[in-house]
Chain A
Amino acid sequence: MLTDQELVVQVINGDQQAFAELVERYQQAAYNLAYRMLGNPGEAEDAAQEAFLRAYQHIKRYDTSRPFKTWLLSITSNHCIDRIRKRRLTWLSIDEPLPPHPALTSSAPQPEASTIAEERNAAIQALLSDLEPDYRMAVVLRYWYDMSYVEIADIMETTESAIKSRLFRARRMLAEQLQTGSTLALSVAMESA
């Protein structure tokens, strides 16, 4: 199997099939990041697709000493944060109830298990959506991508100590939400704890 770097070289040489392989490898990583940041499956899909297109357009700027995934996630991250900021300028409401994610509703074998997963996911998204985009991004990269502070700082183009403080503040806010927030979040959180 070809490495990511080898595939990138092929993409630069005009092989779109090589790019298709990179999409296969990292579509879930990019999509999940967009979904966690934006909270809406449709918008997440569009944002993740846009991130891949930008990666394709700027493939020559990719520094092969970095993991491709890190580069892709940093493009996705910037794009999602941009979208959230633009969203605030429009009248689009962020307080709309978030629909359950289709991937969680369709593939679960048991209806009961699927409902619990759905509720838990809705609770997580509700908690995340109250965080500032920079804080939300740090939390998402820490929990879903298991990244170190240095790696998160690399993606968010900031310092390790900034990440340390963002994660601390985000966690304190999330904990406070648990005290003051919706009973749904609390009950689901208790259930999963």
Chain B
Amino acid sequence: MGGNDKILLAHGGGGRLTQQLIDEYIVPAFSNASLNDLGDAASLDLSSNKICFTTDSYVVKPLFFAGADIGKLAVCGTVNDLAVSGAKPFAISMGLIIEEGLELAAFKTIIESAATAARAAGVFIAAGDTKVVEHGSADKLFINTSGIGTRIPGLDVGFSRIAQGDVILINGSIGDHGMAILAGREGLRFESNIQSDCAPLNGIIQTLYEDDCLRPAIKFMRDATRGGVAAVLNEIARSADVSIEIEETKLPINPAVLAAAEMLGFDLLNVANEGKFIAIVQKEFAQKALEIMRSHPLGKDAAIIGQVGPQGDETIVELATAIGGRRIIQMPYGRELPRIC
């Protein structure tokens, strides 16, 4: 077998192979006027000058896992960062750092899946870059995406708006993505039908803010990615200087995910999601927000999981457990390791 089915250093050298990679793989997948020009910068026509701008890098291992892959993840992650910040995602850029030796077939699948995710989210890839590095200088493929979007008029989300009595919602089951990644990693060979929840959240968020009564009542949104729900809640408690109480029996949990987490000794509150967001809504509008979430496919298991407690007293996050006990939900730390027995 020749080297033709793999990415070579020459694919990043700026010559014929680079051109081929762009012409045959990237442009057809992402095809849009801005990218097809292949200029040095994209020109964008935004509907407003109040914009949100974000960036994130994706280094997930393995590249493919149940329910998604790094391409879809890189698009959804950035789209979601914009959406929870109260912006309508418009365009994203994509920088690819490829380790030589990556199979072209895998590369193609990833690019196409990124393109599909972008279409589903209603954004386009406005600019891109490709670099190939020597074997060992990267782990197969790293993707950086940056995204730009316009602020939704009348939607004001931020820590400062959070107050005692506000209600905390989530759009579905927790920990699916993190456990899918673990299941996909070499070594953790447990049978599972666990799927990553990776999905663009701008659609479901739009259904919330499109409701004129609800829009001003939405006080805060955050996608619960790395560190899971526990990290988001702790950040809220700290930044808004409030305490938070969550009810264990209200947390949406997929039984297969729970079984895997228990086997490995993980707390699902600490496990990453890629299609879940926490919304904090003024109490009177919580039921309405829940109904709207549940009518969207990405929110059919949505739930009210807790409420915001008093300000300034003790900025802790507490869980009221199913058996009537209480315990702290701590900011997750470092990396969790599977336990022995």
A binds B: no
